[in-house]
Homo-oligomer: A and B are copies of this chain.
Amino acid sequence: MPRRSVADALKTRESIVGRARDVASVDGLEGVTIGRLAGDLGMSKAGVIGHFGSKTELQLAALAAAGEIFTREVFGPGQALPAGRGRVLAICDAWVAHVTRPAFPGGCFFTAASFEFDGRPGPVHDEIRRGIRRWRRVLAREIGAAVEAGELDRALDPEQAAFELYAVVMGVNQEVQLFGDRRGGRERGRRAMRRVLGAA
């Protein structure tokens, strides 16, 4: 019998990814250093990096983990509602709640990652870009469905509106993270989003 089962190894791997995701949300994906994770988790550096092979692979794993949380928390709740205005507003509210929640110390993972990696080519950059583009498309599609259903102003351009909603979230993020104003961020964000959608 091996000293560690496959299941144990997987659990260790998940604890590393979880910690990497949390560290990255505060200090950025470059703040995820192998030595720091090892110290935080009481492991050796070799034990940490052995699960991934390279720091880049570790960053990609943290990115994927953050993406799963985002999808579940922001996109998920609206799926209980039929496509249309109600679902779009549910997504917006869940999104603002996500970036203003008290237990999310570092703010929006993808927004921070976007600014951190926008000038650095490589697989992490590409994956961030892909994730954000995918989300913008989902948003535009949901907005388009609501317009089609006659539940949002027909003059609304879904892609422009998706762009503007994402911009608002970046503003909310700054309000929370830089200025420490969670309530102000939430209120300004919700107000701005409703104005974007013409749904005040």
Contacts and interface: CB of A to CB of B under 8 A. Distances in A.
B179 A171 contact: no
A19 interface: no
Is the contact region of chain A dominated by helix, strand, or loop, or is it mixed? helix
A27 B120 contact: yes
Contacts of A118: 107, 174, 177-178
* This chain's copy number in the assembly: 2
B177 A160 contact: no
A167 B111 CA distance: 12
Interface in A147-200: 160, 163-164, 166-168, 170-175, 177-179, 188, 191-192, 195-196
A36 interface: no
Contacts of A57: none
B178 A28 contact: no
Interface stretch (A2-10, A93-101, A125-133): A125-133
Residue of A115, A132, A171, A177 with most partner-chain B CB within 10 A: A115
Contacts of A178: 114, 118, 128-129, 132
A161 to B, nearest CB: 9
15 contacts: A27-B119, A27-B120, A30-B30, A105-B119, A107-B119, A114-B178, A115-B116, A115-B174, A115-B177, A119-B177, A160-B192, A164-B171, A167-B171, A167-B174, A195-B196
